[in-house]
Amino acid sequence: MASDERPLRLLSLDGGGIRGLSIIYILQDVMRRVNLRRSKDERLEPWQYFDMIGGTSTGGIIALMLGRLKMSLEECERAYLDLSREIFTPRKQSYPFIGRGVDLVNAYGKFDAKVLENAIKKIIEARSTSPEVELLSNPEPECKVFVCAIQSSQHDTTPALLRTYKNDSVADLISKKFKLWEACRATSAASTFFDPLVIHDGPISSYFLDGGLMLNNPVNTVFKEAQEVWGRERRMSLISVGAGDAPSGQFHGNIKNVVQGLAKIATDSRTAAEQFYSTQLGHPQLAGNYFRLNVSGMATIGLEEHKLCGEIEHATQYYLQSGETKTKLEQCIKELLEPERQEYDRG
């Protein structure tokens, strides 16, 4: 790493439906600790502090609110609560099971996707000139944000990264075609809950599904993306924030066992966290500066249960007050701030 380059600050946000509220509470605590160690007139928000934020599903929506719309964490919390109350109102119809591999339940979402779209547009319009703003409006933003989705066509089904910035290392032909609201919609289109987003490009139609079906914990994707953008020499500090343990299945009827099994795979981030820890913790660019923050004890809260927001807050605050978590957070903040202290000392 060049002497004048501080370590990159990277943030990875899991998917988790309404449990994503836990992510916001954890980030509030992280930024509170960061700002306590700064002068009072320099209170920073995540978009001013992190170089890159990557998220999946509702973690992706949070990433875009914090990084692309530059919302404060308090604004993000209010918007997320409003969004959850609006979108998680069940349709008055049943849904069939269509066995198409990754699609889970493909044809009819459990909740109304149009309500989701309108709620997202309302949030965007309050922070920008129009609800139809582009996802990629500035090729070099202060905080680079990407969200994970799954692109499905007649020929292939692959993970897709929707970026707010230009990555010269890859041939990204998708991001520039997306509106900001479409990126939010694409990353959160869990097909057990919402219909997929359809994007038409001439005669070709692509379906975009919740990235949580393949990349619910995007920590490795954040690491690899940062390497592509900044190279393989610069040091990094990486915080991965989970949305609590995956819930048991909330499904019934003949499809219960199949959907429940697939949904658990789609929503369980633990394996990805463990694999990243075992394979990348000693990487020279990280040098141990990887921190996983994830609340246990929320396994009974389903992705859609917005009425249990109080329980999510209670479980998260209990987690943040535990001795083990406090120790981890102190070490995390120390690593984030050490380069700044060195700069101040030199100054």
Q: Using an 8 Å Cβ cutoff, are 292 and 218 in contact?
A: no
Q: Are strands 236-241 and 204-210 parallel, antiparallel or unpaired?
A: unpaired
- Could you tell me how far CA 283 lies from the centroid of its own chain? 23
Fold of the domain spanning 8-342: Cytosolic phospholipase A2 catalytic domain (3.40.1090)
The span from the CA of 12 to the CA of 225, in Å, is 11
The mean of the pLDDT values for the chain is 80
pLDDT score, position 301: 56
Mapped onto helix, strand or coil, the DSSP state of residue 206 is: strand
Q: Which residues contact 341 (CB under 8 A, 6 or more apart)?
A: none
Active site residues: 57, 210
Chain center to CA of 60: 3
Cross-strand partners of 282: none
Q: What local confidence, expressed as pLDDT, does residue 254 receive?
A: 37
| Domain locations in the chain as residue ranges | 8-342
- Residue-level pLDDT at 129: 84
Give 10-residue mean pLDDT values along the chain (347 residues): 75 87 96 87 90 95 97 96 76 40 40 82 92 90 94 78 94 90 86 68 69 82 96 95 66 41 54 85 88 80 62 91 95 82 43
Question: E strand or H helix at 67, and its extent?
Answer: none
Q: 243 and 267 in contact (C-beta within 8 Å)?
A: no
Q: CB-based burial of residue 167 (10 Å sphere; 0-12 exposed, 13-18 middle, 19+ buried)?
A: middle
**What is the predicted pLDDT for the residue at 270?**
79
| Residue 195 and residue 189 in contact, taking contact as beta carbons nearer than 8 Å | yes
The pLDDT value recorded for residue 337 is 83
Distance CA 42, CA 78 (A): 23
Residue 190, C-beta contacts closer than 8 angstroms, at least 6 positions apart: 15, 17, 57, 209, 210, 212, 213, 266, 303
* Closest by CA position to 102, among listed 224, 218, 199, 196: 196
What pLDDT, on a 0 to 100 scale, did the predictor assign at position 256? 46
The secondary structure of 282-309 as a DSSP string is: T-TTTTT-EEEE---S-TTS-TT-GGGH
Tens digit of each residue's pLDDT (9 = 90 or more) over 196-228: 777 766 656 677 777 766 788 999 999 999 999
> So what's the pLDDT on residue 86?
80
37 contacts 330 by C-beta, under 8 angstroms? no
Q: CB–CB of 309/298 below 8 Å?
A: no
Distance separating alpha carbons of residues 209 and 119, to the nearest angstrom: 18
CB 220 within 8 A of CB 273: no
Taken as a whole, the chain contains a residue count of 347
* The pLDDT value given to residue 10: 98
Q: Which of 2, 57, 54, 65 is nearest to 228 (CA)?
A: 54
Non-local CB neighbours of 253 within 8 Å, separated by 6+ positions: none
**What is the rounded CA–CA span in Å between residue 72 and residue 24?**
10
Which pLDDT score is estimated for 54? Answer: 98
pLDDT of res. 281? 80
Predicted local distance difference test score (pLDDT) of residue 18: 76
Query: Would you say 223 and 232 are in contact if contact means Cβ atoms under 8 Å apart?
Result: no
- pLDDT confidence of residue 306: 54
Task: Read off φ and ψ for residue 219, nearest 5 degrees.
Answer: -60, -45
